[in-house]
Amino acid sequence: MKTEESTILEVRELNKSFGGLKALNDVSFSIREGRISALIGPNGAGKTTLLNVISGMEAPDSGKIIFYGKNMVGLKTWQITEKGICRTFQAGRVFQKMTVLENILTGIHVRANSGWLSGMFHWPWERREEKRLESRAFELLEYFSLADVAYELAGNIPLISQRKLEIARALANRPKLLLLDEPVAGLNMRETEEMGEIIKNLLSFDVTILLVEHDMNLVMSLADWIVVLQHGQKIATGTPGEVRNNPQVISAYLGNE
């Protein structure tokens, strides 16, 4: 039985330097379960680095990332995904040469079992599992209105569909924490609205969301809680109302844009 107030992710004193540049400077914050939280900040604030560290693609110089009580630092990306944190990528990275359906099925990889031998021989139980996976995949595709392009190559569908596919694929993983990296970058107004609606409704999948975005309107309308970074440091946290009026945040954005 989970409470709305429990912490799902705690970032503790993360530090990361690249050469002489300090990308993350003693960053600490907590994300509550079951909510949409957002990570914002001007360009170069360290948002991408932070996402990379949380998802295991970069190792921090020091600090901890506590997820459900366990420290994720030092684990490989795929291990972190197995444990329940899944991320999408800026500008989207669906598998262009695979069909839409296959993209989702690849997303389910972690939650399925058939191995190499079963793959080669297609034993009955492997075929049953594939059928199960396919029906789960179609459920997701239908939710995202992608079912009619299920057999199209992912590279051939429109941009907004590819973005939706990427989120769907990450969801196929049944993650507990979903990291969305600039999901509306490059989308027009109508598409951004559509995406916003989708993200808002993602909570029905029993998942917590951490959103990295530049689009302020989107962030303010979606997020329950916001973390603001500047120059690798956390300068503010709070509800959209609190952050919007925070003088440090205002000057950070006005100063840099």
* Rounded Cα gap, residues 242 and 244, in angstroms: 6
Which region, judged by CB under 8 A, interacts with other proteins, from 3-11, 16-24, 60-68, 75-83?
75-83
132 contacts other proteins (rule: CB under 8 A): no
**230 has which bridge partners?**
233
230 closest CA partner among 249, 217, 204, 244: 249
47 contacts other proteins (rule: CB under 8 A): no
* Rounded Cα gap, residues 237 and 145, in angstroms: 35
Which region, judged by CB under 8 A, interacts with other proteins, from 17-25, 64-72, 83-91, 194-202?
83-91
Q: Which of 70, 76, 128, 200 is close enough to bind other proteins by CB under 8 A?
A: 76
Q: Which of 17, 90, 114, 246 is close enough to bind other proteins by CB under 8 A?
A: 114
Which region, judged by CB under 8 A, interacts with other proteins, from 121-129, 217-225, 226-234, 237-245?
121-129
17 contacts other proteins (rule: CB under 8 A): no
The least distance separating other proteins from the CB of residue 149, rounded to whole angstroms, comes to 13
Q: What is the footprint of other proteins within residues 88-107 (CB under 8 A)? A: 89, 93-98, 101-102, 105-107
Q: Binding residues for other proteins, per CB under 8 A?
A: 55, 57, 76-79, 81-82, 86-87, 89, 93-98, 101-102, 105-107, 109-110, 112-116, 118-122, 126-127, 129-131, 133-134, 151, 169-170, 173
